[in-house]
Structure 1
């Protein structure tokens, strides 16, 4: 730190206007005027639904049969579509998402690939034309009287032309009959499909996007009929569902909704156990592992039809297998009872029996506190082959232990996290029903953020993968050519996990902890959920609600985090230390003498002490005069008298200020990353104590590249540190400290991580 001193009367003045940059249309603090749509009677400037907000409705009556011999489904549905818009509709659009598996799908045709340098038979087989006969086989599309309706299939979308225009407040009823083969999830991937278990010759079916579904017609897009290419998920209207699912008679069916015919499909033992579960705060087994294993061996040849009903949901999914173990428990959310349930094959134990349903219950409680009370009667976790996927009241989740029942720490926490995440999707987007086809971040990012909150409430120091700002640093420091802004269409994102999950979750965590604080953020976030529950929010509705309910202008934040690929890199560029000259000769002269004595001697001076035995004045003392013995720092009676006269000239207030002995530190801070953020400065004092100063991001409003800030302290500061808790996702910490601190190298960090990893410590313990 450079030291200098000034008299009491000297005024510190930072001429901000002289340093300020012109607030042009390139300013990072300009308002999001052009980027956001103009408010109207449907969506207000506050972010709330307008007084004429509307949305369409689609009600379904479906009959479907699962063929366990050839892994296919045959279905027939009747849809009642109600036009609540002010527009006249001459046609309807229906989503045919299974068509992504068609050999001539747009996904297959636009998939880029290349031949490896050393082609193998397996590579050739993978590049060859797929053999799976996927996609819908539409058998019929008819009106309410059974007459054929003209329809046109455009890849994953089908237009149905109406014989008569559908006017506002009118409904139309039509039916679709179809057939499709079910995909093998382990071979073709996908959000649904089947898993085959060769050890016992059985299947588990997870039926997702399994029926033709209405597309959304809204006030923003008209028809949302962007093609489903595999990434952009699903925009759907709300409605009521009545679904009859015919499966082999020894199968257990998990489903969206409430079971309507338990007496016909469940045994009396199972019903009794369910009655116990509805009163229990711990999981109760409805189907035990022994019973599931017996069903695996004795495959029934008959059929059963499970009937489920669901009110006010935007989608419907189900799972079926004779392998299912089934447990359930009651969850009380704000005085309302909900059944948390899990379905899993024996291959999921012991992990699933111990954790799954407890995680479901925990998720409902935490999410309800941060958003709205969970409104549905059930919440289900089904164990499947891969990944995780969400639907109203039901989710499909991965995480499987080894065959010997042991598992790694990564498997355990990965399973817990995916269940929290997928069950959490009940809130985003199953209830707060954003347009996933357009904006993945609005469901995945918001959900990942609340997932992080739920994980931290599950266990102290839970190893959350996403949410902590430091976890986004590696992505944000990548070359900008490898990134896109968060506000990028779902099908155009190259790094989906980082862009649509991690970065928005990190941004919201920073907004909560560093920018707004928990009280303002939590209220605004809950208000957004309350306003848009069972409605179709858009990004502007979220941005505006967060600002409106928190009373904070956040346009700079949305612009930086959501509309650009800028990153955070703040640096301390300079530190200058000022203190007040007390003019007390006993104090100031002693301090100055100490400083002079502490100054290092030059190399010549050090060598001269050795090589010059005596100087000339040492040999001839008569050459000495007044200045050879004069001590300018000696305290004299005259200097003390002058000091007393100075004190008498001060007012009592000035004398009290002088006695404080304050330190003034002028710190220069540079913004290398371009993303304006609050400045979080930690000062460490001479006595080892610390102080944190938090400065809003508006400090950059006049100069986005460099600012100076004066910190006034009573105790001397020995070091300054920007972002000491790594709460802003600063990508380069080695320029955050003054004096500069050495940071561990990449190699050292790699070694530190590796030392703590054991593949599966449960196995040697068991052995």
Structure 2
């Protein structure tokens, strides 16, 4: 056989995906240029800030008083706003997010219920007590930030116009590029009850008559103005969180004298608010190897028994933060431990009531420290002086340096025993990791939360998953593993990840779990850990203390990894396609040796292996004529189509004489060539991870990049070359790609084992028995007083 003939023979087996061209070609690998904004001098095509990047700045000096009896915050302060933009501004916008709780808010007007059909399908016309209570209280509650004064630096009133959760301040003189202006505000805020009305802020009531105040969005905050959006003027409706400017804060908080305050920033007047013993404990905590209790449980319990009418003022300062939140209560136990973050000293701290123990004293500060250690590895060194976890009924919620986290043991009403479930334990650790982790995204990498929830929640959930894996083996994480997102991705109730925050359906899956899973797949299966980690860290470093957009993230990951990932962003972030690859056909070839002795023997063996037809089976043993009359047999009864002839031998010798040595060796290698058809049923192109098992039991993995689908995104054929026959083949054996249907991922098909539970079907004969129900003995009415007497 001549060289060209041999190449043609083997080449015919290397079928390309073009052989299965789709009826209408859908280029899954076209560039994202049609979707991403054009690069500018502020944001480059590489995903980095441009040489003319700018952002605004807002510095605050504020005083506020917490009135425990009235449950109000009264505040006043000065905002200094710096216009770093190239634009002249004639007015400023301020966010009044708590106006969401006003009676005339859009949040109230647009709220809906499930459809009537869905309501009726529940099989009941009832609602829970607490549900109805919350609905009624929300209507009664006089929420919102009541701005009582807006004045300029000269004390003159400025015109201010409130538009729902936004307020416009008209400037007496246009603010030119590079200039700054100061104005003063005063306001009051009714604090909502967190478990009834509040969302992300509020107070929690306890049976002992004390409260925990978790205070956020408690003051008018400057809205963001930036190059891509201009003024961020989307109203706050509850889901789209916050878009804010960096600045320095100088805040004095006046609270009841027996309260302990946790806050954004560093405490400036410990001498005025802490006892000498507490100050000494705080000093020791800075170099301690385990948490030191600053305010003990005994001290907290003593404070709970009284209710001071005096006040104390706690003074905090924070630099380069985009927000300010605080927590205040006489119930707080406080522990702390110092750690190193790069060249900075950080105090990891926790505040919690006695009801949080023993969980909180064991796990909270440890989880804070673990978070900083792990997030530093993948992004940048934590730059702030404190990192705080506070226990309350709002859980979780994040602000610079401070987070609010729910989760407590349960107390048996009869025995008083404190216990907690596995879910409570790991749920607490996870929520602390997640909320403390938000210091990195979006408190420092300052993405627009009001617009793109996934840019902070998705990236943070991804890092949370990595931190959970580093906590202990078999950590019960919820978001990150590819197999955990498949139920959502096969559902019809989806929108693309690149959907506005207020329009996202199934927010937990779409904004948290799906992008986190996508990044894990990108890290583990597509780029590999080394390339991914370098690119992700580069994104974090480029955009810390700046405001990135989705395009900046996509472009940076491609730029720093040296990989075109447009197909990945398009499929995972812009569509609701799913990964669903099916193994549909498989054909094995071996290269013919051309030796008639070998080839005809092979053909005879294949012929003998063919299944005997039913007719042949039933005729087996039948007496034939030639058996009775042997003289009827001749040459053809002794030789069949697989007999080797001298002509066959001569042709083989002629062929071999015309081949070079390397060609002869190729015919003798005995390679097995297997063609496998793969169908992309889900629409989302993906790498193929194929596990191959050969006759001897040897298993190998072949990793094929997603570009294998570039000519046909619907169906392709792939050639696998092995030394022995393939006996089984599995696509995605380790659940890497989030394939939503693994029943068709293997050849031969694998049976999915399950269990069938047998049970008796019995109908309660008393169901609907009005006579029985009418004649049932009336039970004595139980009251709380009677229950207490019975326990005694």
TM over 0.5: yes
Partner of 2:82: 82
Match of 1:161 in 2: 170
Q: Choose which of 172, 179, 185 in structure 2 pairs with 1:176.
A: 185
Change beyond 3 A, Cα 1:18–1:171: closer
The answer to whether the aligner puts 1:11 opposite 2:19 as a matched pair is: no
- SS of 2:470 mapped into structure 1: helix
Q: How does 1:189-200 map to 2 (within 5 A)?
A: 189-198=198-207, 200=208
CA shift for structure 1 position 632: 5.1
Is 2:490 aligned against 1:491?
A: no
Equivalences for residues 196-595 of structure 1 within 5 A? 196-198=205-207, 200-403=208-411, 404-479=417-492, 482-584=493-595, 587-595=598-606
Q: 1:165 to 1:317 in 2, by over 3 A?
A: same
Aligned to 1:147: 156
Q: Which residue of 2 aligns with 1:626?
A: 635
Comparing 298-307 with 648-657, which one deviates more in the overlay?
A: 648-657
**Shift in Å at residue 373 of structure 1?**
0.8
- Displacement of 1:20: 7.7
Per-residue CA deviations over 1:630-684 (Å, capped at 9, x if unaligned) read 2555678987787666555543222332332101011111111111111221111
The alpha-carbon deviation at position 148 of structure 1 amounts to: 1.2
Aligned position for 1:94: 94
Tell me what 1:661 maps to: 670
Q: CA deviation at 1:191?
A: 0.5
Contact residue 16 and residue 716 of structure 2 kept, 8 A: no
Please say if residues 23 and 702 of structure 1, whose CA atoms lie closer than 8 Å, have aligned partners that are also in contact: no
Supply the distance in 1 between the matched residues of 2:335 and 2:597 (Cα, whole angstroms): 81
Shift in Å at residue 620 of structure 1? 2.5
Residue deviations 1:291-317 (CA, integer Å, cap 9, x gap): 222221133222111100000000011
Equivalent position to 2:722, from 703, 713, 736? 713
Q: Secondary structure at 2:419's aligned position in 1?
A: coil
Q: State how far apart, in whole Å, the 2-side matches of 1:545 and 1:699 are.
A: 24
Q: Is the CA contact (8 Å cut-off) linking 2:96 and 2:221 kept in structure 1?
A: yes
> Which residue pairs with 1:730 in the alignment?
739
Aligned residues: 738
1:7–1:580 contact (8 Å) kept in structure 2: no
1:32 aligns with 2:32: yes
> Is contact 1:8-1:581 (8 Å) kept?
no
Q: Is contact 2:504–2:510 with CA below 8 Å preserved after alignment?
A: yes
State the partner residue of 1:760: none
Q: Structure 2: state its 5+ residue gaps.
A: 412-416, 758-792
> Does structure 2 conserve the Cα–Cα contact (< 8 Å) formed by 1:577 and 1:665?
yes
* In structure 2, distance between residues paired with 1:592 and 1:197: 85
Q: Deviations over 1:321-376 (max 9, x none)?
A: 11111111122222432111111111111111111111111111111111111101
Q: How large is the RMSD of aligned CA atoms in angstroms?
A: 2.3
Query: C-alpha distance in 2, partners of 1:607/1:287?
Result: 93
- For the residues of structure 1 that align with 2:285 and 2:401, how far apart are their CA atoms? 17
Retained in 1: the 8 A contact 2:25–2:712? no
Deviates more, 1:667-676 or 1:224-233: 667-676
Q: Is the 8 A contact 1:19 1:702 kept in 2?
A: no
Partner-residue secondary structure (3-state), 2:34: coil
Q: Give the TM-score, by structure 1 length.
A: 0.92
Residue 141 of structure 1: CA displacement? 1.0
Q: Distance in 2 between matches of 1:249 and 1:342?
A: 20
1:493 to 1:609, Cα distance in 2 relative to 1, 3 A: same
CA distance, structure 1, for counterparts of residue 620 and residue 6 of structure 2: 38
Give the whole-Å Cα distance in 2 for the aligned partners of 1:747 and 1:567: 30
Q: Is the 8 A contact 1:8 1:658 kept in 2?
A: no
The answer to whether the Cα contact below 8 Å between 1:468 and 1:506 also exists between their aligned partners in 2 is yes
Give distance in 2, aligned partners of 1:55 and 1:23: 49
Distance in 2 (CA, whole Å) between partners of 1:659 and 1:332 is 65
Give distance in 2, aligned partners of 1:17 and 1:710: 11
> Quick one: distance in 2 between partners of 1:212 and 1:746?
59
Tell me, in whole angstroms, the C-alpha distance in 2 between the residues paired with 1:280 and 1:589.
82
1:66-109: per-residue Cα shift (whole Å, max 9, x none)?
A: 11122211111211111111111111100001111111111001
Once the two structures are TM-superposed, the CA of residue 617 in structure 1 deviates from its matched residue by: 2.3
